[in-house]
A = this chain, B = another copy of it.
Amino acid sequence: MDKPLCIVAGVGPGNGLAFCKKFLDEGYRVAILARNLERMNEYSRASDDVYPFSCDLSDSNNIKNSFSEIVTSLGVPSVVIYNAGSALFGTPMDVSPEDFEGAWKLNVLGLLTVSKIVAPLMKNNGGGSILVTGATASLRGGAIFAAFSSAKAAQRNLAQSLARSLGSEDIHVALVIIDGVIDIPITREFFPNKPDTFFLQSNAIAETYYNLSQQHSSAWTFEIDLRTSCEEW
């Protein structure tokens, strides 16, 4: 029998890669999606069970094509991690309508498009998990996060609609609120004077995603927050 399939939609050097490694370690095949195919090829050389796909998650047609290809070649996923999204700074007066719409397409419309594809397949397969990467901005509209926080709030309520409508079909939708800065080269450059304890470690975050995907249907989580022990919150 095939190993179960995990799809990580949105793979950068931080969480996405850590999710890939963790699910590999737990015996999954892992399809990874990002715009940058080259970087993903580097990751996929590490294991025969990693399958990279180029995909712009802010483009619905691109999503449809990539997921069609994945399902045809690898089958129905047991776990989908929707990990798209990058912080975008600016007040409502500063943000351009294009960036504002782009953040919404990437964080919200992309999640809807992916869910419309995978939920019916998961249902026929007896269930599955859709795990969504949120942020503090999912809960709070900061002055300088006009685009990001508006999109993340829309994503959160969509994830709730998904969880409430798909739960009885054994599809578990959960939202992880990441509160803080993840330890990757670019954030270390941005915060050069912060101690190690300032940064969330992607490997630790990946443990929680994996545990969520394994929860028994009699005790599912919808929302969980993650921050370092030293975070001011």
Interface residues of A (CB under 8 A from B): 60, 91-93, 95, 97, 100-101, 104, 108-109, 112-113, 115-116, 119-120, 137, 140-146, 149-162, 164-168, 170, 172, 183, 197, 199-201, 203-205, 207-208, 211, 214-233
In the complex the two chains form, is A143's CB within 8 Å of B156's CB? no
In the complex the two chains form, is B221's CB within 8 Å of A228's CB? no
Of the listed residues A153, A211, A219, the one surrounded by the most CB atoms of chain B closer than 10 A to its CB is A219
Of the listed residues A100, A143, A154, A183, the one surrounded by the most CB atoms of chain B closer than 10 A to its CB is A154
For A211, what are the chain B residues with a Cβ–Cβ distance below 8 Å? 207-208, 211
Partner of A225, one of B144, B156, B201, B222: B222
In the complex the two chains form, is B220's CB within 8 Å of A226's CB? yes
In the complex the two chains form, is A108's CB within 8 Å of B215's CB? no
In the complex the two chains form, is A205's CB within 8 Å of B219's CB? yes
